[in-house]
Structure 1
Amino acid sequence: MAIVTVDFDGTLYQGNSFKVMFQVGKKTFGLKQWSIVFTGLVKAIITGLVKGKNAFRLQFFKAFANTFKGKTELELEEFFQQLVNIGKVDVHQGLVRQVREHQQNGDMIILLSGALKPFLTAFAKELQLDVHILSTELLLDQNGVCTGEIGTIINGEEKVKQVQKWVTKELAQSEKGTNEIWAYADSESDIPLLHFVEHPIVVNPDEDMKKIAEENKWPIFAT
């Protein structure tokens, strides 16, 4: 049995999570939510000027997550289903078929991403993929209401840590042995994960990532 990790944005999903969130936001956000987004954008720009592009993305990601404060699990599910309805045309169907082949071989699939977990959950359900999901959590209070806060962002080195933790737990609970770990990913932030696994596969890379893949002799999975 192999463990197969699949990145989301740019890999399984060829669209942009933020773009579709804005599309749905235009229909559903009120003045309060847009005020949160605008304030977060200003803070993100200032942070980005000081600490760089990744810090900008992190700050803005946190601000956008704060727009969900007060929503119930059902309301979150309805919001992210709207994202799926818009974004499903950008699913990498070739990779979906590849994932199904892995499953037929008895492999365990993990959607591994910094994207918000409710989005990935809705997408997996839409695609009828029975997968484990390791991604950024939207935190809920004891009554199941969103606090507007997020858990650890699953990106870069954190992906490696999460996979290691998951594998250790899985092996402790299962009699099945794990022979190898695969990773399907597309961006430079995934490089630590690609170095970590036995079978790194780069999906639809841009020119910079294509050069890195070629230098490391990593296979490229194209559309």
Structure 2
Amino acid sequence: MRVAIFDFDGTLYSKETFQLLMRHMKHHPTHRSKYKTFFRKILPLYIGYKIKIVPEHTMKERSMQIYVDALHTLPKNELDDYFQEMRESMREGFNKDVISRLKQHKKDGVHVMLVSGAYTSLLNAVTEDLGFDVIIGTEIPFTDEGALNRDVSIHHIQGKRKNEKILESLAGYEIDWTNSFAYGDSFSDLPVLELVGKPVAVKPEQRLKQVAIERDWAIL
């Protein structure tokens, strides 16, 4: 079985999800009052990251936690609806070339996967008609009653964690890695891109672009 693994931010979606999440909360007709609390908590974290006290992976994981904590009063069904509201604005930012590649892989019978650090429920909402065989994202922990479980921390899917989840999902299958594909835009996507024989750098940041050139990878 061949696979095609797609990143989301900067790859399938040409922008940054978290920036859109922030705007969505800030201007939301019902939940905008939560933005001030969210912003007060995230600001010191972001400053720590900018002055290189807080590592990037830590900043991202804590940011995801702070965002969900700000919406802790919403049960799962309402939080799903909240993400669903972002569907159309996010789809406007989809990379048409990447969508074209995705459709071709599906025609060719390739097992297509979306692997991202974005919230899984958000990914499901905005890509529900694209036909991904597997969607792997950052899960939001809920109790059996559907309330946010604040005793369980967010486990942000990034870096090598993506590979762990990919291999876990594909356990039991015989994968033709040499003829499989992966699409990513940032240097942090390198572990996933190195899994396959046909990596594609999508509008890559400079560090990834340099790697792609040195290794003669495709650049989209």
The TM-score normalised by the length of structure 1 is 0.86
Q: 3-state DSSP class of the match of 2:136?
A: strand
- Which one of the candidate residues 69, 72, 76 is aligned to 1:69? 72
Identify the residue that residue 8 of structure 1 maps to in structure 2: 8
Q: In terms of mean alpha carbon deviation, does 77-86 or 29-38 score higher?
A: 29-38
Alignment CA distance shift 1:209-1:43 (3 Å): closer
Q: Does 1:196 align with 2:195?
A: yes
Is the Cα contact below 8 Å between 1:6 and 1:185 reproduced in 2? yes
Distance in 1 between residues matched to 2:143 and 2:58, nearest whole Å: 27
Aligned amino acid, residue 77 of structure 2: L
Identical columns (%): 23
Is the Cα contact below 8 Å between 1:48 and 1:55 reproduced in 2? no
Q: 3-state DSSP class of the match of 2:9?
A: coil
Identify the residue that residue 111 of structure 2 maps to in structure 1: 108
Aligned amino acid, residue 106 of structure 1: G
Structure 1 residue 48: deviation in Å? 6.2
Structure 1 residue 201: deviation in Å? 1.0
Alignment CA distance shift 1:38-1:167 (3 Å): same
Identify the residue that residue 61 of structure 2 maps to in structure 1: 58
- Which one of the candidate residues 107, 126, 135 is aligned to 2:137? 135
Structure 1 residue 150: deviation in Å? 4.9
Distance in 2 between residues matched to 1:133 and 1:166, nearest whole Å: 10
Identify the residue that residue 185 of structure 1 maps to in structure 2: 184
Structure 2 unaligned spans of 5+: none
Identify the residue that residue 20 of structure 1 maps to in structure 2: 20
Q: Does 1:35 align with 2:37?
A: yes
Alignment CA distance shift 1:102-1:150 (3 Å): farther
Is the Cα contact below 8 Å between 1:47 and 1:59 reproduced in 2? no
Is the Cα contact below 8 Å between 2:80 and 2:121 reproduced in 1? yes
Q: 3-state DSSP class of the match of 1:70?
A: coil
Distance in 2 between residues matched to 1:199 and 1:43, nearest whole Å: 37
Q: 3-state DSSP class of the match of 1:85?
A: helix
Is the Cα contact below 8 Å between 1:183 and 1:201 reproduced in 2? yes
Aligned amino acid, residue 157 of structure 1: K
Distance in 2 between residues matched to 1:36 and 1:89, nearest whole Å: 26
Is the Cα contact below 8 Å between 1:14 and 1:90 reproduced in 2? yes
Alignment CA distance shift 1:14-1:100 (3 Å): same
Q: In terms of mean alpha carbon deviation, does 180-189 or 22-31 score higher?
A: 22-31
Structure 1 residue 182: deviation in Å? 1.9
- Which one of the candidate residues 154, 157, 169 is aligned to 1:154? 157
Q: How many residues align?
A: 214
Identify the residue that residue 146 of structure 2 maps to in structure 1: 144
Q: 3-state DSSP class of the match of 1:146?
A: coil
Structure 1 residue 82: deviation in Å? 1.8
CA shift digits 1:168-209 (9 cap, x unpaired): 14x2xxxxx432332111100011111222221111113332
CA shift digits 1:39-70 (9 cap, x unpaired): 23324534764233333333222211212313
Identify the residue that residue 205 of structure 1 maps to in structure 2: 204
Distance in 2 between residues matched to 1:186 and 1:193, nearest whole Å: 11
Is the Cα contact below 8 Å between 1:201 and 1:219 reproduced in 2? yes
- Which one of the candidate residues 114, 119, 122 is aligned to 1:119? 122
Is the Cα contact below 8 Å between 1:36 and 1:63 reproduced in 2? yes
Flag the structure with higher helix content.
1
CA shift digits 1:144-189 (9 cap, x unpaired): 22235554211111111111111114x2xxxxx4323321111000
The TM-score normalised by the length of structure 2 is 0.87
Distance in 1 between residues matched to 2:148 and 2:45, nearest whole Å: 22
Distance in 2 between residues matched to 1:184 and 1:106, nearest whole Å: 17
